[in-house]
Structure 1
Amino acid sequence: MNADDRNPLARARVVTRLPAQDLERARRFYSEQIGLEPVDERPGGLLYRSGGAEFVVFRSAGASPGTFTQMAWEVDDIDSVVSELRGRGVVFEEVELPALLGGGRTRDGIVEVEGNYPSTGARGARGAWFRDSEGNMLGIEAPVM
């Protein structure tokens, strides 16, 4: 028996939950600007599937501080994804990463992060961030091999 057999969370699915003060506004954002429709809807929440994973946008009285990445998509071609989303009205953040995170400043909405993804053999990553309609910070990243 290995350690994962004794730990129920080691076998559990991870599902991201994003707060929304206005669920209908969030639905419009994810539909019109991201191009995703909910696969299930319950009172107070919308379930989305993307790339084999799930995330939930739920009605909340609290608001996200939007100061850190709450969810990210890994893509093969970050330039085309950023271009497509910009065409849908998504506004990308201009950021300067601290040296602790590899440093770097966004150029046209995308930053190069050296040393990211060491477990995959990548030498770094390219990333971009934006906020959804509810202030949640979302990211797009692509490993640099």
Structure 2
Amino acid sequence: MLKELHTVLPAADLQRARTFYHDKLGMDPQDEVDGVLVYRPDSGAQFELYETANAGTAQNTQMGWMTDDLDSEMATMREHGIVFEEYDVPGMKTVNGVATGDAMRSAWFRDSEGNFICISEMKR
């Protein structure tokens, strides 16, 4: 039976990625197993970073977090140097980094390795 779900992200430079997640998001790995950094955020989820030459090649969302206050999260992240993506494509246009849909608001940024990370808030 399948049990725990976790995200695995590529990194061209594992030390650079470790520094990014520490400096920009305030996260440190809880484990390092066979060269893989293992993060366990407070939410109980898990994600891993591993070194590979394929890092930064995906052009899609690779990991997402939910939040109760998107604006506050974005403000804190911006204070730490996070730059949010701006999109203007059919069906989606961001305003100040935020795309608003019927059920949620979302924003995307890239980590130091080019991975697309999304943060979203369900609309109230």
TM bracket (short chain): over 0.9
Give the alignment's TM-score, normalised by structure 1: 0.80
Q: Where do 5+ consecutive residues of structure 1 fail to align?
A: 1-7, 115-123
Give the alignment's TM-score, normalised by structure 2: 0.93
Displacement of 1:14 in angstroms is 0.8
Tell me, yes or no, if structure 1 residue 58 matches structure 2 residue 50: yes
Tell me, yes or no, if structure 1 residue 32 matches structure 2 residue 23: yes
Q: Where do 5+ consecutive residues of structure 2 fail to align?
A: none
Work out whether residues 66 and 131 of structure 1, in 8 Å CA contact, stay in contact via their aligned partners in 2: no
Output one character per residue of 1:113-141: Cα deviation in whole Å (capped at 9) or x when no partner.
22xxxxxxxxx100000000000000000
The match for 1:23 is: 14
2:88 aligns with one of 89, 92, 96: 96
The CA distance in 2 between the partners of 1:93 and 1:77, in whole Å, is 18
Work out whether residues 16 and 56 of structure 1, in 8 Å CA contact, stay in contact via their aligned partners in 2: yes
Displacement of 1:17 in angstroms is 0.2
Aligned length: 123
Structure number with larger C-alpha Rg: 1
What SS class does the counterpart of residue 93 from structure 2 fall into?
coil
Displacement of 1:97 in angstroms is 4.7
Which of the pair has the greater relative contact order for Cα pairs under 8 Å at 6+ separation? Answer: 2
Moved more, 24-33 or 54-63: 54-63
Tell me, yes or no, if structure 1 residue 42 matches structure 2 residue 33: yes
Output one character per residue of 1:75-118: Cα deviation in whole Å (capped at 9) or x when no partner.
000000000000000110001353xxxx231111111022xxxx
Q: Percent identity?
A: 44
Tell me, yes or no, if structure 1 residue 75 matches structure 2 residue 40: no
Displacement of 1:74 in angstroms is 0.1
Give the number of the structure whose residues are more often helix, by fraction: 1
What SS class does the counterpart of residue 81 from structure 1 fall into?
helix
Q: Quote the RMSD (CA, aligned, Å).
A: 1.2
The match for 2:116 is: 137
Give the number of the structure whose residues are more often strand, by fraction: 2
